[in-house]
Amino acid sequence: MTAVLTPISSRRRATDRAARGVTLALTLLALVPLFLILYFLLKEGLGAFSMSFFTTDPTGRFLGNAGGIRSAIVGTVIIVGLATVIAVPLGIGVALYLVEYGKQSRFANAVRYFIDVMTGVPSVMFGLFIYIVLVVAQIDGTFAAWKGAIALSLLMLPVVARSSEVVLNLIPNALRESALALGAPRWRMIFRVVLPTALPGLVTGSMLAIARAAGETAPLLFTVAFVNGLSANVGQRMNSLPIQIFNDVSQAQDRLVQRAWGAALTLVLMILFVSLIARLVQRRSRLQP
Amino acid sequence: MTNPDAPERVMPDESPPATSRTSAPAPATAAALATPAVQGAKTGRSMSLEGLRAFYGDSQAIMGVDLHYAANEVTAMIGPSGCGKSTVLRCLNRMHEEIPGARAEGKVTLDDLDIYGPGVDVTSVRRAIGMVFQKPNPFPTMSIFDNVAAGLKLAGIKSSDTKEVVERSLRGAGLWDEVKDRLSQPGMGLSGGQQQRLCIARTIAVAPEVILMDEPCSALDPIATLKVEELILELKRDFTIIIVTHNMQQAARVSDTTAFFYLGELIEHAPTEKLFSTPEHPRTEEYVTGKFS
């Protein structure tokens, strides 16, 4: 009888070790930039942190007290908040149409295709588009926070729509059918059964879109522009963290460059916070992909 | 949605305008179906199929079936997998047309009302003809109480006393004593058999005339199955029951008459005892004696 179970050959052992080693080395290499970013962010950014850093606005002075980043934080919250209010209901509405009504119709598939195209559009394009149709055209003045919010919402829309569609598709058809079999009109089935069941997933998808939009610079650059002072008027220019970083980092003064690092760390922490909430909500979800 | 080329009998839209077609019997039909039945002492209604044909896209699944379901009786539909028994069941409350590309032709009546008739609101059809599915599927976000009340809310029935309806429905489904102290807990926390009886309670809460059951015990253990079967025998006092089952013993235990389907055709429909002891058709005999399945 020939041997059925043979001992592992030394060649197999060597190949296995080599494959393991190469993939591990590539993984470590990929982690290097990530850790460098985190290292510099913490090293330079933490040095900028102080109480007044968060409680004062930039002064615009090159010499003397440069001020903090309060107006940038407030501006980012306002602009991203407004963008969320626009993009989330719109995106969930699109997803509901695709999953509950459009299904595999030609129109629905065309919409899916365009959403994918829109996801791939560079963010600077959204900024340019709003710059031309709202800023240059001088609709309600020139630069304004609400215009930047629209540019950001265009960026968020495909992300929200796609992630919501995935979540809605996870809902078992049996739930829809049992609601319809009780004599529910389709809209009531959607509002009472589909949306409540999908809610945690919809929140998570929206949070991730918010996290992505909060760090975008290009859509704000020529729509909201820049201002030092604190403002809550969305019809005016407004400061924001990405723009603050963009401006400060190109200055010659070390103090301003350090403020850019501090603002960058603040932005990363804010995004991390939103992502963490998204994770927590996801964990509570009953739908597992 | 249904195929756009579907013949005029099939209403692809969920709520077709009531006045879209003005054939004489339509308004009366629609009105009768739209009136929710009065709760309490009541009797079920009979249903009939005349030349029912059902399609999935281009393939025909039901080849023209005539069948009468007597009021306040349990009719079992049996047959091998793929014989079309579930498709027939789904045509009885127009759930068949929810499958993309699916459509049905022929006449399906509730007493003398054509449920595929022009101007009939499909939601009123489903309110009058409830359905219990193969897998227990309580709404996951809702409590036990809300799951039963959901039937009313989803159907848009304004009930002055939801509490009373929920209790009566849970009692009707033989579940009240087991859950009365934890009505606010999630419905998903119940055992499989309890979940299925919860779904039955949800169905009877909207006071249908007929209850369709699509293999309601196939996901349950023997004890839970026994409870649901006892429940079916009680429910037939108030409702007409049509049950699809792949379990011949179950058909023999619960049904008054049994219909045997094969390859999309009705082979034989007879009183259950007769169908299982002295079937007329050789195919039926081969199936009930286990020569094929």
The CA distance from A65 to A237, in Å, is: 23
pLDDT tens-digit map of B186-235? 999 999 999 999 999 999 999 899 999 999 998 888 988 998 999 999 99
Residue in A with minimal Cα distance to B203: A182
Please answer yes or no on whether B133 and A178 come within 8 Å at the CB atom. Answer: yes
Q: Residue B22 above 70 pLDDT?
A: no
Helix/strand/coil percent split, chain A, to 5: 75, 0, 25
* Residue A204: CB atoms within 10 Å: 23
Please answer yes or no on whether B139 and A179 come within 8 Å at the CB atom. Answer: yes
Q: Residue A252 above 90 pLDDT?
A: no
What would the DSSP string read from start to end of A47-69?
HH--HHHHHS-B---SSS--B-S
Average model confidence (pLDDT) across chain A: 91
Q: Are B240 and B44 in contact (CB under 8 A)?
A: yes
Please answer yes or no on whether A175 and B139 come within 8 Å at the CB atom. Answer: yes
pLDDT number for residue A188? 93
Q: Residue B36 above 60 pLDDT?
A: no
Q: What is the pTM of this model?
A: 0.81
Run of H or E residues at A123? helix A123-130
Q: Which residue has the higher pLDDT, A249 or B1?
A: A249
Q: Are B139 and B188 in contact (CB under 8 A)?
A: no
Residue B215 with chain A: CB contacts under 8 Å: none
- The per-type count for chain A, helices as H runs and strands as E runs, is 12, 0
Please answer yes or no on whether B140 and A104 come within 8 Å at the CB atom. Answer: no
pLDDT number for residue A232? 87
- Pick from B154, B196, B211 the residue to mutate for testing the A interface (most A CBs within 10 Å): B154
Residue B133 with chain A: CB contacts under 8 Å: 174, 177-178, 181
Run of H or E residues at A244? helix A241-249
Write down the ipTM of this complex: 0.80
Q: Residue B33 above 60 pLDDT?
A: no
pLDDT number for residue A161? 96
Residue in A with minimal Cα distance to B208: A182
Residue in B with minimal Cα distance to A285: B141
pLDDT number for residue B3? 45
Reported as a pLDDT band with limits 50, 70 and 90, residue A286 is low
Q: What is the DSSP code (8-state) at residue B23?
A: -
pLDDT tens-digit map of A220-232? 998 998 888 888 8
Amino acid at B142: M
Angstroms from A177 CA to nearest CA on chain B: 8
Q: Are B92 and B99 in contact (CB under 8 A)?
A: no
CA-based torsion, B277, B280, B282, B287: positive or negative: negative
Q: What is the DSSP code (8-state) at residue B110?
A: E
| Residues from A in contact with B at Cβ < 8 Å | 103-104, 172, 174-175, 177-186, 188-189, 192-193, 196-197, 199, 286
According to DSSP, the residues that pair with B240 across neighbouring strands are B210
pLDDT number for residue A253? 85
Determine the 3-state secondary structure of A214 from DSSP: helix
